[in-house]
Amino acid sequence: MSSVRYVLGIESTAHTFGCGVVSSEGVVLSNSKSEYVPKAGGIHPREASQFHAANASATIRDSLSVAKMDLSQIDAVAFSAGPGLGPCLRTGATAARMLSLMAGVPLIPVNHCIAHIEIGRVACKEDDPLIVYVSGGNTIVSAFSDGRYRIFGETLDIALGNCLDTFARALGLGHPGVPKIESLADEGKVFIPLPYVVKGQDVSYSGLLTMAIRKSKESDPNDLSLSLLEVAYGMLAEVTERALAHTEKPSLLLTGGVARSQRLQRMLESVCREHAARFHVVAPEVAGDNGAMIAWAGYLGLLKGQEIQVEKSFIKPKWRLDQVEVPWRT
Amino acid sequence: MADLKLIKRGAEAELYRGEWLGFDAIFKRRVRKAYRNADLDRLIRSTRTSLEAKLLSGAKRIGVPTPVIYSVDLHKTEIVMSYIDGTTLKKLLPDMGDAEINVIFSVVGDCVAKLHRGGIVHGDLTTSNILVINGKIFFIDFGLGEYTESLEARGVDIHLMRRALESSHYQSSRLAYQSFAEAYSKTLGDGAEEVLRRVGEIRRRGRYVDGGRCMVD
């Protein structure tokens, strides 16, 4: 497999259709994406998948053209096989299968969560960081042990990004919600108590969201935004701190779409300082869902023979992070 | 109280060892967290300190070994308690054989059942929070616990322990949980089956767990 130089990756778990090309050195050569934005409410899986189908071809072409390549130079095609929304995953998988057959190169199924972790790890050059992975769909504190990324803590219900996005919509702040809540919070002064729910290593955001929306009628939006972020991020910081103390990992990697939040970065950096751990955050270009991270995780998997026949390349909408063998790490 | 020696900087508290009226004692101080909003921080530290003190002595009263409380200071958010010269189960577990694991987790199961029967959930049953000394175990760190008899809280209590076992001690987690569940059922009696069923249900509520969210068993 030493002949593998360039891998193309397709991402389509939720609202982003992404296509990226990476080299075997972990350099991102292109990372194109198109993003489905619902007219109202959250993601509608079927509409999102139709959006992806309509934009797949242009996104893939753009990715190859930015990388200054044509399909014949690609050595393998990776796709996000899960976890995610079924209709969206199927659209990306179909595109990836087709590319793999056209180019006559291996097809590699990639776990979306693993991709978020590995793209952060290659850039920060940390061998064994504690992982905090936060996005619209996931909230996970994880560390590598015994051949897999084990889950130390996670959300018991909705994800952090989901909680904040829904609150933003309820306040009519639009999409993307997190930066808007953060700028309101910067003006907030009074802390309004909200449900702070930490259970062991886990967090729960659904009660917090309900209460925050309920209080939005009577409270100052700046104060409420401040309080929501302090409680939501504070809960995550607490379980992160506990995981750091428990695992004694030398460093922490913050990854996923919500990793772009500077307020969250500051908070976790402060946690790291107290425990003498090095703090790293994934680069903003590869923080949210993207194809390049799939390509890179696909490359790592390919080195360990994780290619799959097209006939067997099923999607796995419920593919948990801790079910995945990680043979490229020891 | 002059010579306090910092022995551990945990996630939420600093532990000092020193003398308290002639007794060998641990001073557990919940320290201010710079990353947290000051009002929220104050609230969390004082509620947990007061609750932990109540639960530590409550647990002892119903026959579950815990340190003896000497003093509680809500202003300093500090609990002074007896020093237990034990080793965490986390440290001992990797070197334990199957027979030993079976014995120790049977004791854990028995104790957790007593806690639940007495209306207490621990809230953070990791192997770091169980001290072992000459085959006897002590429970510490009740800061996330509560007085409740709800089925859900009991289920979550055990679910969290099981998950902590799987993430930190994957090799022995199955056997450990089995021994735990057997002893827990024996001590708790009739209600145990319902609690353990709920544990399975809570597990399936997790994101992307096989079996789906609404299936029963």
CB–CB of A198 and B144 under 8 A?
yes
**What is the C-alpha to C-alpha distance for residues A208 and A231, in angstroms, rounded to an integer?**
8
Q: Which chain A residues are closer than 8 Å to B170 by Cβ?
A: 145-146, 150
The reply to whether B60 and B121 lie within a common domain is no
Q: What confidence score (pLDDT) does residue B212 get?
A: 44
Tell me the residue range of the domain where B18 lies: 5-82
Q: If DSSP codes are grouped into helix, strand and coil, which group holds residue A52?
A: helix
Task: Judge whether B186 is closer than 8 Å to chain A, CB to CB.
Answer: no
In total, how many domains does chain B have?
2
**What is the C-alpha to C-alpha distance for residues B1 and B43, in angstroms, rounded to an integer?**
27
**What is the C-alpha to C-alpha distance for residues A307 and A299, in angstroms, rounded to an integer?**
10
Q: Which residues contact B178 (CB under 8 A, 6 or more apart)?
A: none
CB–CB of B44 and A196 under 8 A?
yes
Task: Judge whether A104 is closer than 8 Å to chain B, CB to CB.
Answer: no
Among chain A residues, the shortest Cα distance to B146 is held by: A199
Among chain B residues, the shortest Cα distance to A246 is held by: B128
DSSP code for A62: H
Among chain B residues, the shortest Cα distance to A156 is held by: B206
The H-or-E segment that residue B17 falls in is: strand B13-20
Establish if B147 belongs to a structural domain.
Answer: yes
DSSP code for A312: G
B214: pLDDT confidence band, cut at 50, 70 and 90?
very low
Q: Which chain A residues are closer than 8 Å to B10 by Cβ?
A: 245
Active site residue B3: no
Q: Which chain B residues are closer than 8 Å to A222 by Cβ?
A: none
The reply to whether B149 and B53 lie within a common domain is no
Question: What count of other Cβ atoms lies within 10 Å of the Cβ of residue B4?
Answer: 17
**What is the C-alpha to C-alpha distance for residues B101 and B94, in angstroms, rounded to an integer?**
10
Which of B39, B124, B171 minimises the CB distance to A200? B124
Residue (of A247, A233, A229, A120) closest to A177 by Cα position: A229
Burial of A15 by CB count in 10 Å (0-12 exposed, 13-18 middle, 19+ buried)?
Answer: buried
Which of B11, B164, B206 minimises the CB distance to A245? B11
The DSSP code sequence of A236-282 is: HHHHHHHHHHHH--SEEEEESGGGG-HHHHHHHHHHHHHTT-EEEE-
The reply to whether B94 and B191 lie within a common domain is yes
Establish if B216 belongs to a structural domain.
Answer: no
Q: What confidence score (pLDDT) does residue A246 get?
A: 80
The fold of the A6-117+287-323 domain, in CATH, is: Nucleotidyltransferase; domain 5 (3.30.420)
- How confident is the prediction for chain A on average, in pLDDT? 95
Q: Are A17 and A87 in contact (CB under 8 A)?
A: no
Q: Which residues contact A122 (CB under 8 A, 6 or more apart)?
A: A26, A296
The H-or-E segment that residue A308 falls in is: none
Q: Which chain A residues are closer than 8 Å to B163 by Cβ?
A: 151, 200-201
Establish if B214 belongs to a structural domain.
Answer: no
Task: Judge whether B148 is closer than 8 Å to chain A, CB to CB.
Answer: no
Q: What confidence score (pLDDT) does residue A201 get?
A: 87
How close, in Å, is residue A127 to chain B by CA atoms?
Answer: 19
Domain termination site, one of B46, B66, B82: B82
Q: Is the peptide bond before A83 cis (omega within 30 degrees of 0)?
A: yes
Q: What confidence score (pLDDT) does residue A247 get?
A: 86
B76 pLDDT higher than 90: yes
Among chain A residues, the shortest Cα distance to B123 is held by: A200
B2: pLDDT confidence band, cut at 50, 70 and 90?
low
Q: Which chain A residues are closer than 8 Å to B209 by Cβ?
A: 318, 320
Q: Is the peptide bond before A176 cis (omega within 30 degrees of 0)?
A: yes
Q: Which chain A residues are closer than 8 Å to B156 by Cβ?
A: 199-200
CB–CB of A193 and B43 under 8 A?
yes
How close, in Å, is residue B211 to chain A by CA atoms?
Answer: 10
Strands B87-88 and A202-203, sheet pairing: unpaired
Task: Judge whether B43 is closer than 8 Å to chain A, CB to CB.
Answer: yes
Q: What confidence score (pLDDT) does residue B210 get?
A: 60
Establish if B191 belongs to a structural domain.
Answer: yes
The reply to whether B64 and B147 lie within a common domain is no
Q: What confidence score (pLDDT) does residue B216 get?
A: 32
Residue ranges per structural domain of chain A: 6-117+287-323, 127-284
DSSP code for B64: -
Q: What confidence score (pLDDT) does residue A176 get?
A: 82
The reply to whether B111 and B162 lie within a common domain is yes
Establish if B163 belongs to a structural domain.
Answer: yes
Q: Give the tokens for residue B114.
A: 């007593």
Q: Are A96 and A308 in contact (CB under 8 A)?
A: no
**What is the C-alpha to C-alpha distance for residues A97 and A79, in angstroms, rounded to an integer?**
9
Which of B11, B144, B206 minimises the CB distance to A154? B206
Strands A16-23 and B120-121, sheet pairing: unpaired
Among chain A residues, the shortest Cα distance to B88 is held by: A246
Residues of chain A with pLDDT under 50: 1
Quick: pLDDT tens for A170-191: 999 987 899 999 999 999 999 9
B215 pLDDT higher than 50: no
**What is the C-alpha to C-alpha distance for residues A228 and A56, in angstroms, rounded to an integer?**
37
B131 forms bridges with which residues in the sheet?
A: B88, B138
The reply to whether B71 and B92 lie within a common domain is no
Which of B128, B167, B209 minimises the CB distance to A320? B209
How close, in Å, is residue B124 to chain A by CA atoms?
Answer: 4
Question: What count of other Cβ atoms lies within 10 Å of the Cβ of residue B81?
Answer: 23
Domain termination site, one of B82, B114, B136: B82
Task: Judge whether B11 is closer than 8 Å to chain A, CB to CB.
Answer: yes
Establish if B164 belongs to a structural domain.
Answer: yes
The reply to whether B177 and B77 lie within a common domain is no
Q: Which chain A residues are closer than 8 Å to B11 by Cβ?
A: 238, 241-242, 244-246
- Name the catalytic one among B98, B124, B157, B210: B124
Q: What is the CATH number of the domain that holds B142?
A: 1.10.510.10
Domain termination site, one of B37, B62, B82: B82
CB–CB of A271 and B35 under 8 A?
yes
Q: What confidence score (pLDDT) does residue A128 get?
A: 96
**What is the C-alpha to C-alpha distance for residues A176 and B134, in angstroms, rounded to an integer?**
57
**What is the C-alpha to C-alpha distance for residues A162 and A259, in angstroms, rounded to an integer?**
14
Establish if B55 belongs to a structural domain.
Answer: yes
Q: Which residues contact A173 (CB under 8 A, 6 or more apart)?
A: A180, A181, A184
Establish if B213 belongs to a structural domain.
Answer: no
Q: What confidence score (pLDDT) does residue B163 get?
A: 87
Amino acid at A96: A
Q: Which chain B residues are closer than 8 Å to A234 by Cβ?
A: 35-37, 40
CB–CB of B11 and A145 under 8 A?
no
CB–CB of B167 and A151 under 8 A?
yes
Quick: pLDDT tens for B120-152: 999 999 998 999 998 899 999 999 999 999 999
Q: Are A299 and A78 in contact (CB under 8 A)?
A: yes
CB–CB of A152 and B44 under 8 A?
no
Which of B12, B37, B167 minimises the CB distance to A230? B37
Q: Which residues contact A214 (CB under 8 A, 6 or more apart)?
A: none
Q: Assess if CATH 3.40.50.2300 describes domain A127-284.
A: no
